[in-house]
Amino acid sequence: MTTEPASANLRVLVVDDEELARLRLRSLVGDCPQPKAEVVGEAGNATQALVWLQSQHCDLMLLDIHMPGRDGMQLAAELRTMPSPPAIVFVTAHAEHALQAFELEAVDYLTKPVRRERLHAALQRVAQRMAIAPPVVAPTEDAEPVVIVSDRGRVVRVPVSDVLYLKAELKYVTLRTAQHTYVLDDALSDLEQRLGDRFIRVHRNALVAKKAVRALERRIIAGTDDEGGESWAVRVAPVDEWLAVSRRQATAVREALVAAGL
């Protein structure tokens, strides 16, 4: 009779400043029927975790956020600079950091008290990712960037290539794709800097993907400064929606149309 090699199990490092929290996570990990997982180390703060990683390895880090010294977000950001970092699942009492967590490419975000079923689902996601990904994944310059949005309680990664336009409303920003409309809390100016030159500002309240620009015409657009009269507007494909274009941006939009051969 042969025994299963230890490498067949997910190797888990628990990082939490509370001993009871680490003990509970160790118990929950051990109870997971599939995939098999084992806690191979514990750390009470970010510094201890980094010291542990200098001589040992893990497949997954169960990471608290609020800890003495560097918090879990700072540690996760530092781990991303490693050539082959462990997967991260945040385990925290604070739900408000979920969007930032997924921007750091966390596999999952669990809130305390952690339910056994949720932890096991997170372990399954990690195992699935490891089965698909090669053993060593180097960061690539051409990786598809994403916009992280919250949609009815779910955190969704929207590829930037799917975004048609972003429009500032009263207290939020609408992100439009061909299939969905999402609401963001980010400032439009911040999004403009992050999205780069794939997008063009057509108005103080709107950014449009250059590839989605199809026409520039004089039209009557409700809610513009020229209420009741015609103003420049751009047609966005494939949704066939029209967005107002300010006078100062009309030239830049025309140049984008010319560059696209339209």
pLDDT digits (tens, 9 = 90+) for 74-116: 999 998 888 778 999 999 888 888 888 778 888 889 988 888 8
Residue 133 has pLDDT above 70, yes or no: no
The pLDDT of residue 248 is 86
What sign does the CA torsion over 138, 72, 25, 91 have? negative
pLDDT digits (tens, 9 = 90+) for 143-197: 577 887 766 656 677 888 999 999 988 777 889 999 998 887 777 887 888 788 8
How many Å separate Cα 52 from the centre of its chain? 27
Q: How many C-beta neighbours within 10 Å does residue 70 have?
A: 15
Residue 7 has pLDDT above 60, yes or no: no
Q: Please, what is the Cα angle at 204 between 202 and 206, to 5 degrees?
A: 55
Alpha helix (H) residue ranges in 8-71: 19-30, 46-55
Domains parsed from the chain with CATH numbers: 8-132 (3.40.50.2300), 146-259 (2.40.50.1020)
Contact residues for 106 (Cβ-Cβ < 8 A; gap 6+): 76, 88, 89, 90
Q: Please, what is the Cα angle at 200 between 193 and 220, to 5 degrees?
A: 135
- Rg (alpha carbons) of the chain, rounded to whole number: 23
pLDDT digits (tens, 9 = 90+) for 199-235: 999 998 899 999 898 888 888 766 555 545 678 898 9
Q: How many C-beta neighbours within 10 Å does residue 101 have?
A: 23
The string over 136-162, giving b where at least 16 C-beta atoms fall within 10 Å of a residue's C-beta and e elsewhere, is eeeeeeeeeebbbbeeeeebeebeeeb
The string over 202-221, giving b where at least 16 C-beta atoms fall within 10 Å of a residue's C-beta and e elsewhere, is bbebbbbbeebbeebeebeb
Residue 125 has pLDDT above 60, yes or no: yes
